[in-house]
Amino acid sequence: MLRAYDAWDTSPLVLPRPTRLYSLASLAPIGVGTPMVESLTGYIVRLAEAHCVSAGLLYWKEIRSLAGKGNIFTFRVTNGNGYSTHTINGLGAPAADFVRVLERLTGRHNLHTLTLLTWAQVLPRAALLRRARAWCESCVHAWHQAHQPLYEPLLGTLQAVTVCPYHQRPLRHVCPHCTHPLGPLDWRSRAAYCSRCAHTLVPPAVGPVHTLPRPELLWATWVASACGELLAAAPQLGCPPGRDRLAHTIGRCIEHTSAGNASAFARLLQVGAAMSAGGNEAKRCHGSRSCCAWPMVWGPHCWTSSWAPQPQWRLGAW
Ligand SMILES: [Zn+2]
Ligand SMILES: [Zn+2]
């Protein structure tokens, strides 16, 4: 008896282009489009673990020659000498080089969202990123308990962020076992492990912590939340925000809150004299930490054309 079989689909299979490093969905960067987006150095560390090699070996064998860098593992947190690995998460050439190479090796796009490259025109290069790792023990403990991947959020690399916005817990800066600060990318870096003594950074339990006085804690939490909003917005921005937009926004704020008096506005925000000449000055004080902290403090909304100063932002309200 003849039996009818289903027709075969003979259309040619379209396979994705092979990539040098894994491009698995399970290895996608974590938290893209959220305040807890992964950092690029943290992503390199997880890539290395997935390939069962150390972060140092992955860099040395696969990344080094393409990135045109030498030995990046010369950095010493304690004296600041050597290659500044924290700049891989930043907004300059090192970050751009590593993004280019890792996108090529993994076939992924938008890895720039794991860095601050989106904000290259409006954030300062100096004093923006901390040189050593900082992490929230409550976050790490919660991820471990929930069997979620352990990783390094980009938020913790910002010097302005001193507490976790979710747990209102001051970030930890040294290994609890060897009490050493840890570089963002060391030869033996592993997610949630100390790269010096190799002990886990996952605490067995998290109890109450000696925290900041309440006003300071509220301020630090707000700053951390605002910075998180900024990082979360990066994938949605069609083009990187420019200095002109920042200058325009500052000008509108000065107009709204201080009747155009830039000096009064600078005093209101407790920023330096660089701000006192008005919004256009923002172009020239690009290196000023206080000036360029503005887009971080205001969050991503100040980049939209419909943004307007809020009514509560009046003199004396802060
Ligand atoms: Zn936390
Ligand atoms: Zn240690």
Residue at token pair 């890792």: 102
Structure-block tokens of residue 21: 């490093």
Quick one: average pLDDT of 188-193?
95
Residue 314 CB coordination number (10 Å): 13
Q: Which residues lie at CB < 5 A from ion ligand 1?
A: 136, 138-139, 164, 166-167
Residues with Cβ < 8 Å from 209, sequence gap 6 or more? 169, 170
Kindly give the distance from the C-alpha atom of residue 79 to the centroid of ligand 2, in angstroms, as a whole number. 18
The one-character DSSP state at 63 is: I
Kindly give the distance from the C-alpha atom of residue 224 to the centroid of ligand 1, in angstroms, as a whole number. 11
**pLDDT tens column, 158-181:** 999 999 999 999 999 999 999 999
From the CA of 156, the nearest ligand is: 1
State residue 266 phi and psi, 5-degree precision.
-65, -40
Residue spans per domain, the chain: 28-195, 241-303
Are the beta carbons of 294 and 250 closer than 8 angstroms? Answer: yes
Kindly give the distance from the C-alpha atom of residue 4 to the centroid of ligand 1, in angstroms, as a whole number. 60
**pLDDT tens column, 100-159:** 999 999 999 999 999 999 999 988 888 899 999 999 999 999 999 999 999 999 999 999
* pLDDT the model gives residue 317: 31
From the CA of 221, the nearest ligand is: 1
Structure-block tokens of residue 149: 């991947």
How far, in Å, CA of 159 to CA of 177, rounded? Answer: 23
* pLDDT the model gives residue 247: 82
Kindly give the distance from the C-alpha atom of residue 61 to the centroid of ligand 1, in angstroms, as a whole number. 34
**pLDDT tens column, 256-271:** 888 888 888 877 776 6
**pLDDT tens column, 192-243:** 999 999 999 999 998 877 677 888 899 999 999 999 999 999 999 878 888 8
Kindly give the distance from the C-alpha atom of residue 32 to the centroid of ligand 2, in angstroms, as a whole number. 29
The one-character DSSP state at 132 is: S
